[in-house]
């Protein structure tokens, strides 16, 4: 079946530094990918929609300069958390839909900012 | 936009019992309703889905029902097992070329041995 791979699975960084998270669709092309943030015991909150070859679409309340998204190819989208702060610590997860059917999720990235 | 409500937030059952999780949605244009199971610290996994052209779908111990008129759909798990313990999310997605699901808040299912 379709697989979406996300890296890294865990990252610890210092306040003020930037962290890049990669999301790859391994056996299908994804013109669109989604980035979610998930707090403990809470649902998946859509942060932005990553569009191959064009600018990402951000949800209301999500700072585009804080969470930089690049969708450089049909199989890769990256999320960069810039100038990270402890409040950015969370579980970030990407997904890629295959056509109009199910969306496949990456493994998720546990970000801890110290 | 779409709004998905999911209940209950927590569900505790004994092994062998049935579990039912219910969701409602607001956008009558939504036509795809997947259910995901998420174990702690892992990615959500699709367990079953239903489209608006059918009212019920079953896969072994799992079934989903859809009432388009009332705009609600439910997940039914029969003969629950401890390994069914996880957080379950419903979602609703509109038609079109870009699948953007709206997720419910999740139900933490605990199956006691």
Mode of pairing for the β-strands spanning A109-113 and A10-13: parallel
- pLDDT recorded at residue B95: 75
- B34/A105 Cβ within 8 A: no
pLDDT at B108: 95
Q: Do B98 and A103 touch (CB under 8 A)?
A: no
Establish if A97 touches chain B: CB-CB under 8 angstroms.
yes
Q: Which residues of A touch B59 (CB under 8 A)?
A: none
Mapping DSSP to helix (H, G, I), strand (E, B) and coil, where does residue B82 land? helix
Of residues B43, B96, B104, nearest to A108 (C-beta): B43
Q: How far apart are CA B19 and CA B39, in angstroms?
A: 17
Contact A43, B103 (CB under 8 A): yes
3-class DSSP state for residue B84?
A: helix
pLDDT in the model for residue A27: 87
pLDDT score for B2: 87
Residues of chain B with pLDDT under 70: 96-99
Cβ of A100 within 8 Å of Cβ of B99? The answer is yes
Minimal Cα–Cα distance from B15 to chain A, Å?
23
Across the interface, whether the CB atoms of B106 and A102 are under 8 A apart is answered no
The whole-number pLDDT of residue B97 equals 57
CB atoms within 10 A of CB B7: 14
Dump pLDDT digits (tens) for B92-109. 988 765 668 889 999 999
With H, G, I as helix, E, B as strand and everything else as coil, classify residue A28.
coil
Other CB atoms within 10 A of residue B4 CB: 23
Q: What's the pLDDT score for residue A101?
A: 63
Report CB contact under 8 Å: A107, B42: yes
Phi, then psi, of B82 in degrees rounded to 5: -55, -35
């Amino acid at each position: 079946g379709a697989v979406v791979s996300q890296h890294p699975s865990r990252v610890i960084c210092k306040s003020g530094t930037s962290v890049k998270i990669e999301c790859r669709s391994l056996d299908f092309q994804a013109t669109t990918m989604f980035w979610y943030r998930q707090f403990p015991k809470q649902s998946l909150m859509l942060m932005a929609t990553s569009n191959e070859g064009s600018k990402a679409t951000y949800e209301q309340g999500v700072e585009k300069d804080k969470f930089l998204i690049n969708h450089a190819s049909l199989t890769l989208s990256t999320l960069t958390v810039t100038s990270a702060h402890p409040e950015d610590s969370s579980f970030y997860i990407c997904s890629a839909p295959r056509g109009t059917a199910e969306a496949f999720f990456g493994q998720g990235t546990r970000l801890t900012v110290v | 936009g779409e709004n998905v409500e999911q209940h209950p937030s927590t569900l505790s059952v004994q092994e062998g019992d049935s579990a039912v999780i219910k969701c409602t949605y607001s956008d009558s244009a939504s036509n795809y309703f997947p259910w995901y199971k998420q174990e702690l610290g892992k990615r959500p996994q699709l367990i079953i889905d239903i489209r608006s052209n059918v009212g019920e779908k079953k896969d072994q111990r799992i079934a989903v029902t859809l009432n388009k008129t009332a705009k609600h759909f439910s997940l039914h798990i029969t003969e629950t097992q401890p390994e069914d313990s996880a957080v379950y999310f419903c979602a609703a997605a509109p038609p079109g070329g870009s699948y953007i699901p709206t997720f419910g808040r999740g139900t933490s299912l605990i199956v006691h041995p």
